């Protein structure tokens, strides 16, 4: 069984970290984590970090449950509160995933990246993102350190 961590100690930058395949119940708990972020009613950025190939696999029923969650209001919260979303996948999975379009799917700036460094560089250089000064000093190193534990 895999695990998923929701981390907001670098707010307004939130992290999700997934390792191994998640169960349906873990995925539903993840949606509740997103709901908690939405309840703050503050704009934020998110990095979704997938440690391994198995963490990209979905349990049966996850797609349907996520679509239902989105249709109950999460889709509009994504578009109004999530300012960008970076999805970091294992480098060996990047070639098959790089064509996914975060903007087309979620209606927000973002992308798929083969490393945390690439995602942070994109975030740092994005001209559409102006609220990052709220992040604490050395946030890049803090995020890298958090992810290095996996």
pLDDT in tens, 104-149: 888 899 999 999 889 988 887 775 555 555 555 566 676 776 666 6
How does pLDDT run across 12-45, given as a tens digit for each residue?
A: 889 999 999 999 999 999 999 999 999 999 999 9
Q: Is the pLDDT of residue 80 over 90?
A: yes
* Residues comprising the chain, all counted: 150
Per-residue tokens: 91: 């480098």
Alpha carbons 61 and 89: distance in angstroms, whole number: 22
Does the pTM exceed 0.95?
no
Q: What's the per-residue H, E or C state across 101-144?
A: CHHHHHCCCEEEECCHHHHHHHHHHCCCCCCHHHCCCCHHHHHH
**How many degrees, rounded to 5, is the angle at CA 56 between CA 52 and CA 58?**
140
More confident residue, 87 or 133: 87
3-state secondary structure at position 12: coil
Can you read off the two tokens belonging to residue 144?
Answer: 């890298």
Q: 39-67, pLDDT tens digit by residue?
A: 999 999 999 999 999 999 999 999 999 99
């Amino acid at each position: 069984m895999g695990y998923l961590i929701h981390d907001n100690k670098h707010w307004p930058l939130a992290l999700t970290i997934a390792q191994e395949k998640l169960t349906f119940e873990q995925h539903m708990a993840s949606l509740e984590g997103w709901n908690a972020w939405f309840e703050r009613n503050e704009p934020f950025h998110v990095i979704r970090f997938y440690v391994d190939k198995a963490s990209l696999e979905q349990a049966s029923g996850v797609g349907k449950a996520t679509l239902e969650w989105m249709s109950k209001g999460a889709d509009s919260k994504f578009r109004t509160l999530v300012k960008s979303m970076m999805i970091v996948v294992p480098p060996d999975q990047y070639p098959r995933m790089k064509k996914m379009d975060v903007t087309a799917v979620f209606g927000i700036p973002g992308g798929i990246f083969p490393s945390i460094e690439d995602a942070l560089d994109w975030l740092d250089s994005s001209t559409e993102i102006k609220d990052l000064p709220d992040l604490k000093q050395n946030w890049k190193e803090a995020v890298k350190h958090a992810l290095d534990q996996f």
